[in-house]
Structure 1
Amino acid sequence: MRAYVPTGKAHAGQPHVVLAELPQPRLRPDEALIKVEAYSVNRGETFKLEEPGASWRPGKDVAGLVVQQAADGSGPEAGRRVVGHPMGAGWAEYAAVPTSALAELPDAVTTAQAAALPLAGLTALRLLRAAGPVGGRHVLLTGASGGVGHYVTELAAAAGAYLTAVTASPERGARLRELGAHEVVHDVTEAAGPYDLVLESTGGPTLPAALSRLRRGGTLIWFGQAGRTPVTLDFFDFFRGPESASLRHFHYMDFPESYADDLAALVRLVAAGRLHPELGRVTDWADTATTLVDLRERRIRGNAVLTVS
């Protein structure tokens, strides 16, 4: 089969991948073999490609067809359309996916929509679960223009949050308003607050600026470092800021719920028209290298999906 593999080399500051011939995956008893029809690429993967591990291959968001059911009899049968979240190696014609990370697709959900769901959708869903009830709460979301930000905006707005989204682009801000954001600002310093909850994914100077906008007893949940700039936090400023505020870290993998259940929930929301994957680009997988560069340089709004020809 053909699959993209990292070279570990960079050109003009950008990581390289090449299309190579590899054997089909060897399946564990709880894994199904998926014929990949589409996959999504994530900005975090572009960073990992700079220094890939010896055996690591990219690809955590796939959609396609089950061609071999798991040997233990679990999961979807052969012939079923599915969305999956393997831990890697999904940028390929075939992928091995644990049945605990697979969900079946109804006809109402396209393969491209499904491929855009796993990493970004799971992160958004579980982030809001970690935050607790958001109905009626004032929420500040930084880094809102990416795939996770679009999902968080729509899910939080549907749950009744009064959401302020931070994005540098007026065009992307208009789309976030369509998805339910009550307010859009182009820099965190323009956010007035105070906020009950801050969802922060940029890092650098953004985190302390966002932290200072919490109300008393508020919570900041840090879930990303998109700016790739370390955070410097002056705790004297913290103590002079909102009293009894809390600062928490979040990672979407730190949950007992199975990926399969949460993927199925996301699929149901899309099928019902209550969640809209933001497909900023859908193109043939021959364009993977170009798409990686454009995603890294923030030239793609939302998710980038590659279709396997």
Structure 2
Amino acid sequence: MKRLIPTGDPARPVEFADVAQSVPAADEALVRVEAFAPNRGETFLLEDPRPGLLPGKDVAGLVVQAAADGSGPSIGTRVVGHPPQGGWAEYVAVPTHSLAVLPDGLDAVRAAALPLAGITALRLLRTAGSVAGRRVLLTGAAGGVGHYVTELAAASGADVTAVTATAARGERLLERGATAVVRDVTEARGPFDLVLESTGGAALPHALARLAAGGTLIWFGQASRTPVTLDFFDFFAGPEGASIRHFHYAGAPYGEDLATLVRLVDRGRLHPEIGRVDDWERTSRTLVDLRERRIRGKAVLTTGAAR
């Protein structure tokens, strides 16, 4: 089968290779991939790939071999999945606890845009607790996670201020329920009960300074790739009772969260923001553009398997 593998060349991060077809474990289903969505974090890993790296964690397609242990969907079922790796291929083995069945009205392109960003958004808001009536500041809001967080938080009653440097992306976030959009975190008018911080670098101290007394900053990303310097004397002199929490989305099983995301999209309550759909022959170009922030929201590559 065909698989995209790392090259180590930042200008052309992946190339095709002919490899043996994936052999699923007893609790895995074999999925014929129709569409996959790269994540910006994967583009960073591809700059200096570790031996054996097989990128690809967000896929949608068709089950062609059911799990031997009897779990999960049957042959012929359309699914969205979040495998540990290897999704940029014609076929991928996915643990059945990381699959969700797709309804007829949800196509593979939109489904593929859901897993990592959508699961992150769901779990981030669960970590934050109830956001109804709370003032929320979200940095790095223009990415896939940011769009989902904005829409989910606003639908739950939050007053969301989103930070994005691009006016067009800001308009889209307003359409998705943001109360306000600012170009830089220093322009945000606090105080905020909750800060969801994903950029790191110089932005994090500015975001932290805008917390209300008793507020929480949840740090869930480092998109700037710049180290953070915090003056804890300033923090201790700042809002009384404020706290900083680290967040990471990982932790299988993912199937229940995927099913929640699928249900929300199918009912028109969540809208994947897809900035590019292209054939997987042009994956390298898409990865470079994603890394350089030239794509709004998610990028999705299609294999042609659905045609």
- The TM-score range, normalised by the shorter chain, is over 0.9
User: Where does residue 132 of structure 2 map in the other structure?
Assistant: 135
The answer to whether the Cα contact below 8 Å between 2:13 and 2:287 also exists between their aligned partners in 1 is no
Task: Give 3-state SS (helix, strand or coil) of 2:262's partner.
Answer: helix
Q: Alignment partner for residue 279 of structure 2, among 284, 295, 303? A: 284
- Give the Å deviation of 1:213: 0.1
- Give the Å deviation of 1:15: 5.6
Q: Alignment partner for residue 208 of structure 1, among 196, 205, 213? A: 205
User: Where does residue 117 of structure 2 map in the other structure?
Assistant: 120
Q: Deviations over 1:16-58 (max 9, x none)?
A: 2111101111111000000000000110000011122211110
The letter of the residue matching 2:49 is P
**Are residues 1:61 and 2:80 paired?**
no
Aligned residues: 304
Q: What pairs with 1:204-243 in structure 2 (closer than 5 Å)?
A: 204-243=201-240
The answer to whether the Cα contact below 8 Å between 1:37 and 1:111 also exists between their aligned partners in 2 is yes
The answer to whether the Cα contact below 8 Å between 1:128 and 1:156 also exists between their aligned partners in 2 is yes
Task: Give 3-state SS (helix, strand or coil) of 2:37's partner.
Answer: strand
The answer to whether the Cα contact below 8 Å between 1:7 and 1:16 also exists between their aligned partners in 2 is yes
Q: Deviations over 1:79-105 (max 9, x none)?
A: 000000001100000001000100000
Task: Give 3-state SS (helix, strand or coil) of 2:133's partner.
Answer: coil
Task: Give 3-state SS (helix, strand or coil) of 1:230's partner.
Answer: coil
- Give the Å deviation of 1:192: 1.1
CA distance, structure 2, for counterparts of residue 98 and residue 16 of structure 1: 27
The letter of the residue matching 1:271 is D
The answer to whether the Cα contact below 8 Å between 1:65 and 1:82 also exists between their aligned partners in 2 is yes
User: Where does residue 97 of structure 1 map in the other structure?
Assistant: 94
Q: Alignment partner for residue 80 of structure 2, among 79, 83, 91? A: 83
User: Where does residue 306 of structure 1 map in the other structure?
Assistant: 301
Q: Deviations over 1:168-188 (max 9, x none)?
A: 000000000000000000000
User: Where does residue 172 of structure 1 map in the other structure?
Assistant: 169
Q: Deviations over 1:251-289 (max 9, x none)?
A: 0014xx730000000000000000000111011111100
Q: Give the root-mean-square deviation of aligned CA atoms.
A: 0.9
Q: What pairs with 1:146-165 in structure 2 (closer than 5 Å)?
A: 146-165=143-162
The letter of the residue matching 1:287 is R
The answer to whether the Cα contact below 8 Å between 2:28 and 2:68 also exists between their aligned partners in 1 is yes
CA distance, structure 2, for counterparts of residue 83 and residue 16 of structure 1: 25
Q: Alignment partner for residue 274 of structure 1, among 269, 272, 277? A: 269
CA distance, structure 2, for counterparts of residue 136 and residue 149 of structure 1: 19
Of stretches 160-169 and 22-31 in structure 1, the one that deviates more from structure 2 is 22-31
The letter of the residue matching 1:3 is R
The answer to whether the Cα contact below 8 Å between 1:15 and 1:49 also exists between their aligned partners in 2 is no
- Give the Å deviation of 1:191: 0.3
Task: Give 3-state SS (helix, strand or coil) of 1:123's partner.
Answer: helix
CA distance, structure 2, for counterparts of residue 103 and residue 162 of structure 1: 31
CA distance, structure 2, for counterparts of residue 95 and residue 83 of structure 1: 12
The answer to whether the Cα contact below 8 Å between 1:37 and 1:308 also exists between their aligned partners in 2 is yes
Task: Give 3-state SS (helix, strand or coil) of 1:75's partner.
Answer: coil
The letter of the residue matching 2:269 is R
Q: Alignment partner for residue 108 of structure 2, among 99, 106, 111? A: 111
Unpaired stretches in structure 1, ≥5 consecutive residues: none
With normalisation by structure 1, the TM-score equals 0.97
The letter of the residue matching 1:265 is T
Q: Deviations over 1:130-150 (max 9, x none)?
A: 000000000000000000000
The answer to whether the Cα contact below 8 Å between 1:15 and 1:50 also exists between their aligned partners in 2 is no
Give 4+ residue runs of structure 1 displaced > 3 Å after superposition.
Answer: none
User: Where does residue 256 of structure 2 map in the other structure?
Assistant: 261
The answer to whether the Cα contact below 8 Å between 2:40 and 2:290 also exists between their aligned partners in 1 is yes
User: Where does residue 248 of structure 1 map in the other structure?
Assistant: 245
Unpaired stretches in structure 2, ≥5 consecutive residues: none
Q: Deviations over 1:188-240 (max 9, x none)?
A: 00001000000000000100100000000100000000000010000011112
CA distance, structure 1, for counterparts of residue 158 and residue 31 of structure 2: 38
Task: Give 3-state SS (helix, strand or coil) of 1:107's partner.
Answer: coil
The letter of the residue matching 1:300 is I
